[in-house]
Chains A and B, each alone.
Chain A
């Protein structure tokens, strides 16, 4: 099956720093990747759709200057949480679709961000 690798799995940072999370498709090319945020015991909230070679499409209420998304290649999308604050602490997950493999999503293992 398709593999999506997400790093780091856990990051602790000080308030005001920026954190970059990587999402890689290891054995397929992903023209589109999705970034989600998940609070404890809650559902996934779609933050943005990352499109290779173009600007990301952000969901309503998500600050694009706060959550920078770059999808510079067909196998890598990055989410940078800029000037992180404690309220940004959350579980961030990426996913991608495999071309030709129906509509199912393949997920990374998630990144737990803790901002002190």
Chain B
């Protein structure tokens, strides 16, 4: 199956709750990135974590990377209705090479 599989496929939570999405991949990577896509729009880069990093933070986002398990997680804390979107992980084998996208998690935050 495709590099970069995410779970859950869909997640529905109440505003204020935390949302956690997971991404698994199959081969060694140079970096892993998370992107957000609003319906019918392009993707927006959220955060990048390199293979030698274990955790990164950006505002309400927290990303972890476990290279031994070939998995990553994206945590959105104190979610807001505006966080409703699809979230994709993307893995890259080299710095300037192509990225492979996961299947995505559709997050719905209810106000």
What residues of chain A have their CB less than 8 Å away from a CB belonging to chain B?
4, 6, 32, 34, 36, 41-44, 46, 49, 91, 93, 95, 97, 102-110, 112
B41–A102 CB distance below 8 A: no
Nearest B residue (CB) for A97: B96
Most buried by A among B30, B42, B95, B100: B42
Which DSSP category, helix, strand, loop or mixed, fits chain A's interface? Answer: strand
Supposing A34-B98, A43-B102 touch, asked if A107 and B44 sit within 8 A by C-beta, the answer is: yes
**Complex A-B: 20 CB contacts under 8 Å:** A32-B96, A34-B98, A41-B106, A43-B102, A44-B43, A46-B100, A95-B42, A95-B43, A97-B96, A103-B31, A103-B33, A103-B96, A103-B99, A104-B33, A105-B35, A107-B43, A107-B44, A108-B42, A110-B40, A112-B40
The answer on a CB contact under 8 Å between B45 and A43 is no
Give B1-40 interface residues, CB cut-off 8 Å to A: 2, 4, 30-31, 33, 35, 40
B42 touches A46 (CB 8 A): no
Q: What's the nearest-Cβ distance from chain B to residue A24, in Å?
A: 13
Chain B residues with Cβ under 8 A from A6's Cβ? 42
Chain A residue with minimal CB distance to B9? Answer: A41
The 8 A CB mask of B98-110 against A (1 = contact, 0 = none) is 1111111010000
Please report the C-alpha to C-alpha distance between residue A34 and residue B98 in the assembled complex, in whole angstroms: 8
Could you tell me the distance between the alpha carbons of A93 and B88 in the complex, rounded to whole angstroms? 14
Q: Report chain A residues within 8 Å CB of B4.
A: 43
Q: How far is the CB of B2 from chain A (nearest CB, A)?
A: 7
Residues of the B chain whose Cβ atoms lie less than 8 Å from the Cβ of A108:
42
